[in-house]
Structure 1
Amino acid sequence: MSSHEISRRTIFRAAAVLGLSAPALAACVTAGGDGAQQASAGDKSATNPFGVKADGPLEVVVFKGAYGDDYVLAAEGVYQKQFGGAVIDHKGIQKVGDTLRPRFVAGSPPDVVNNTGAGRLDFNALRQSNQLENLDKLLDAPSWDDPNVKVRDTLLPGVVEDGIYDGQFVRFNYAYTAWGLWYSKPLFEKNGWTWPQTWPEMLALCEEIKKTGIAPWTHQGKFPEYMTDPLLVMAVRGGGMDLLRSLDNLEPNAWRHESVKAAAEAIAELAGKRYLMPGSEGLSHTEAQAAWNQGKAAIIPSGSWLEAEQKSVTPAGFDMVMGAVPSLSSTGKLKNNAIHVGSSEAYLVPSQAKNVAGGLEFLRMLFSRSAMKDFAKSVGTLPSVKGATDGLALSPALASVAEAVKNAGDDSINYRHRIWYPTLTKAVDDSVAELVTRRITPAEWVDRVQKAADDCAKDTSIKKYERK
């Protein structure tokens, strides 16, 4: 059986994994079936490492959300110049999963998919049904900008790791997110406040802020994961990458590490010393962020999407910037400017696409520095390629994010357990909500979270992963 001839048993197994109903499946088989044939190969060369056939058609499907799809259309223009005669079928859509799931089951997926948005395809399901092309060959190909540099060596820390499922790199993320603590630069300058490097310095700053009548902190109480992030950053700063691996790998008593407990105690201090804006625990992300924009609080935790999310309500001259979460002390195992980072806006090449070579080459070009610069300029978000924002006129917010990522370097923190184990993630976040309202103590928080991790480790129905 060829890779594009799917047996009845294989189709039904894939349908079960991908969550497709039997009636929909029948329609798919009728519509797709054995029509997917690989495009004829072209000659491989230094400028055509995958052997793309010059006039081979290419189908690109993009999630048309907050980032739009103009940057992809621009890249398609470059692709067509490179491969004269290639016809590109471009689709900008919202419901990626609903639209493409039947086509994956039928064996006739597009050549490139931007799998993002609330209705995206399930990566784990696609991987388990062997629907995703291994992109290691793309990582080891010469980069578009410099043939002497491999694609993998152009990427920011964590991008490759974020795309690995069961040992294979199948998800190539375009945008780069950093998490930290946000404040108005003019507000700090007006009051002579400087950003703290350690938690004792943060508490001293909060006391100074409180004297002005402004709440030192607010947070998105209805979504406690916003406060989970600074807690985990402080913990890993103190315990280092060994602690991060033990948390991700569900090792016994990992959550009882002294740095984890100390970080929980630090977050609890914000409530204990009344440094949190009253009522924060009942606010949504938009409500808390609006209060912060209105000057009711000086500091708020968030990711680097904050500027775009608050664009319509941020006052002129507010000039938000991101500061790194302070360290528990000056003696941690990671440097003080280590931050939480992660990549998103995922691209994939389906293994049963008609033009796999074209899909790989399109991504090689899309992940070039020039294409990334266009993306950064048009959407105001940090891309996942090194140096993509160099020389650009950036907003204070994006400039602070780019600087924070640069300063962190290899001391970049990215938690895998929060992706691998949703039930554990929920238990951690729910317990943080109790911690910041002083309904439980830091010691009780540690006990709750460790039990959740132990339960996850013992549950044989949950697939386990390992961080190296």
Structure 2
Amino acid sequence: MIDLRIRTTQALTALAMAAIGVVPGCSLTRAGSSGVVTVEVAVFEGGYGIEWHKSVARRYEADHPGVRINLWGDPRVDEKIRPRILRRNPPDLASANLPVWKLIVAGKLYPLDEALDSPAYGQTDRTWRETMIPGTLGDFRYDGRTYAAPTALGAWVCWYDKRQFRRYGWEPPRTWGEFTRLCEQMTARGIAPLAFQGKYPGYAWATLLSLYQRLVPFERWYAMQDLQPGAFVDPDFVRAASLMQQMAVRYFQPGAMAMTHTESQMEWVNGRAAMVFCGLWLKNEMKSAIPAGFEMACFPVPMVEGGKGDPNALYGGGAENFCVFADAKHPREAADFLKYLLSIESARSYTIELDTLSPVAGSTEGIPISKELQSVVAVLDQSTRVFQDRISNLYLEFGATVLQQAQADLLSNRITPGEFARRLEAGAEATRRNPDIYKPRPMGVPEIR
């Protein structure tokens, strides 16, 4: 499953290609002469920042006097730790855009099951595994073991300003027809309907997959996730690509394809664009720019008239995944700190401080949550299930090259939806035929638990 922020780089691809050739190893170094164990934690410093992580680290140190957490972050953390992974000197714990499946198969990640099956912090009558929302630990299981755990619960939604909608008498759309008519009304008012993070065309992928899900039963949607032959040229996927292209050509703000994520989101915050598709990190990422009186709210990707998919399913799931390295100096201590990061106390502070959701069950109970987050919770409460892509995490080269460029060309109207589908199918076929690329067993439609 893809982390809801899709920012792939050449560095990811290079690591993906290199990780297969690395010989696995493991070492567990005990405390040095000072008697203190130092656990190094590297964090992707994106929309959520790292201040919450630091505050949890300080609490952990207070509760564990013999452990020091050396936690640092960087927006390009994956590039910083890549050479260290190859030299078998990685940090102990990391959250980064890494080719997790490549590292799992190469034996470079440490299984979390011993920690997952131990008593949870703050809920000692339950194991850590039992405190997690069902399904959030299933994305990186291999041979019965779990190799990563998410610290965020993501959802892909369309954000708008309730104040602006009230001013013009607009209502959140329930169907795609209502959505396009709303966009026409916005255009007539001289307001761009949609901001878009065009320098990162991967931002369109979750919306496109949501449109495809609205059109087909989950058996067909997951056939694509299982890389089944012909899945990308499914006529309904071509139709979803056509809807996506029409939206881009007609309703994206002029110049959107040249904007970064923050530039485009600033256009939305300032009212020059009325809506933006994004994940739950949006408010925290733009908090310093949101003007007084702005009322963030959201709605899911609307259902498509005549579609055969579940109209109430929601694109979302676990995000901001952390993993422990097998070559780490202190893998057991790193896993224990990860368990602490995902304790009920930490999860509640995560929700309060970052105004987003945690994958720990019950973490919103008994705490105040913002109106913005209440809007998300309402969408989640009305959903029948969550679903999310795993193609980009499984097949890094495909995601970073074929998929990114094809999306940019589709959104810029340089290729037709049919050409887009055929290009993805050709890239998928090359992946299927490549014996060096690990393909997990088909998962079919996951059970709702």
Could you state the TM-score of these two structures normalised by the residue count of structure 2? 0.80
Distance 2:369 2:50 in 1: 17
The range that moved more, 236-245 or 290-299, is: 236-245
Using the TM superposition, give the Cα deviation of residue 190 of structure 1 relative to its aligned residue in structure 2, in angstroms.
2.2
Unaligned residue ranges in structure 1 (runs of 5+): 1-15, 21-32, 40-55, 81-85
2:410 equivalent to 1:435:
yes
2:300 equivalent to 1:324:
yes
When Rg is computed on C-alpha atoms for both structures, the one with the higher figure is 1
Distance 1:434 1:327 in 2: 25
In structure 2, which of residues 247, 250, 267 is the aligned counterpart of residue 291 of structure 1? 267
Are the aligned partners of 2:406 and 2:424 in contact in 1 as well (CA < 8 Å)?
Answer: yes
User: How do 1:378-417 residues align onto structure 2 when only pairs under 5 Å count?
Assistant: 378-408=353-383, 411-417=385-391
User: How do 1:347-366 residues align onto structure 2 when only pairs under 5 Å count?
Assistant: 347-348=323-324, 350=326, 353=329, 356=332, 358-366=333-341
In structure 1, which of residues 81, 85, 89 is the aligned counterpart of residue 68 of structure 2? 89
Q: Which amino acid aligns with 1:70?
A: K
Post-superposition Cα deviations, 1:50-103, rounded to whole Å, max 9, x if no partner, equal xxxxxx8543323364122333235415643xxxxx411221223767579759
**Residues 324 and 278 of structure 1: is their aligned pair in 2 closer, same or farther, counting only changes over 3 Å?**
same
Q: Which amino acid aligns with 1:287?
A: E
Using the TM superposition, give the Cα deviation of residue 347 of structure 1 relative to its aligned residue in structure 2, in angstroms.
4.2
Are the aligned partners of 2:214 and 2:307 in contact in 1 as well (CA < 8 Å)?
Answer: no
In structure 1, which of residues 67, 70, 79 is the aligned counterpart of residue 50 of structure 2? 67
Distance 2:99 2:26 in 1: 24
Where 2:414 maps in the other structure, the secondary structure is coil
Structure 2 residue aligned with 1:164 = 141
Distance 2:152 2:248 in 1: 34
Using the TM superposition, give the Cα deviation of residue 232 of structure 1 relative to its aligned residue in structure 2, in angstroms.
0.7
Higher relative contact order (CA 8 A, sep 6+): 2
Where 1:384 maps in the other structure, the secondary structure is coil
Using the TM superposition, give the Cα deviation of residue 224 of structure 1 relative to its aligned residue in structure 2, in angstroms.
1.1
Are the aligned partners of 1:131 and 1:352 in contact in 2 as well (CA < 8 Å)?
Answer: no
Are the aligned partners of 2:102 and 2:438 in contact in 1 as well (CA < 8 Å)?
Answer: no
The range that moved more, 193-202 or 376-385, is: 376-385
2:361 equivalent to 1:377:
no
In structure 2, which of residues 190, 198, 217 is the aligned counterpart of residue 221 of structure 1? 198
Distance 1:188 1:106 in 2: 54
**Residues 222 and 36 of structure 1: is their aligned pair in 2 closer, same or farther, counting only changes over 3 Å?**
closer
Percent of aligned positions that are identical: 28
Post-superposition Cα deviations, 1:302-360, rounded to whole Å, max 9, x if no partner, equal 1211112212222222222232111223653323252233311414264765572x544
2:282 equivalent to 1:282:
no
Structure 2 residue aligned with 1:45 = none
Are the aligned partners of 1:114 and 1:345 in contact in 2 as well (CA < 8 Å)?
Answer: no
Are the aligned partners of 1:339 and 1:412 in contact in 2 as well (CA < 8 Å)?
Answer: yes
Structure 1 residue aligned with 2:3 = none
Using the TM superposition, give the Cα deviation of residue 291 of structure 1 relative to its aligned residue in structure 2, in angstroms.
1.4
Distance 1:374 1:198 in 2: 36
Structure 1 residue aligned with 2:394 = 420
**Residues 395 and 129 of structure 1: is their aligned pair in 2 closer, same or farther, counting only changes over 3 Å?**
same
Structure 2 residue aligned with 1:25 = none
Where 1:94 maps in the other structure, the secondary structure is strand
2:224 equivalent to 1:250:
no
Post-superposition Cα deviations, 1:193-250, rounded to whole Å, max 9, x if no partner, equal 2211221121121122222111112212221111222111111233233233211221
Structure 1 residue aligned with 2:9 = none
Are the aligned partners of 1:236 and 1:259 in contact in 2 as well (CA < 8 Å)?
Answer: no
**Residues 145 and 67 of structure 1: is their aligned pair in 2 closer, same or farther, counting only changes over 3 Å?**
same
Where 2:138 maps in the other structure, the secondary structure is helix
Q: Which amino acid aligns with 1:373?
A: R
Distance 1:57 1:334 in 2: 53
Using the TM superposition, give the Cα deviation of residue 445 of structure 1 relative to its aligned residue in structure 2, in angstroms.
1.8
Post-superposition Cα deviations, 1:91-148, rounded to whole Å, max 9, x if no partner, equal 12237675797599668x77xx440247xx7645653453433222333334334445
Distance 2:129 2:26 in 1: 35
Could you state the TM-score of these two structures normalised by the residue count of structure 1? 0.77
Distance 1:329 1:153 in 2: 39
Distance 1:92 1:359 in 2: 11
Are the aligned partners of 1:337 and 1:404 in contact in 2 as well (CA < 8 Å)?
Answer: no
Unaligned residue ranges in structure 2 (runs of 5+): 1-17, 444-449
Where 1:60 maps in the other structure, the secondary structure is strand
Distance 2:390 2:69 in 1: 33
Distance 1:159 1:402 in 2: 17
**Residues 404 and 37 of structure 1: is their aligned pair in 2 closer, same or farther, counting only changes over 3 Å?**
same
CA RMSD of aligned residues (A): 3.3
Structure 1 residue aligned with 2:425 = 450
Aligned residues: 413
Distance 1:226 1:184 in 2: 20
Post-superposition Cα deviations, 1:16-46, rounded to whole Å, max 9, x if no partner, equal 85999xxxxxxxxxxxx9995568xxxxxxx
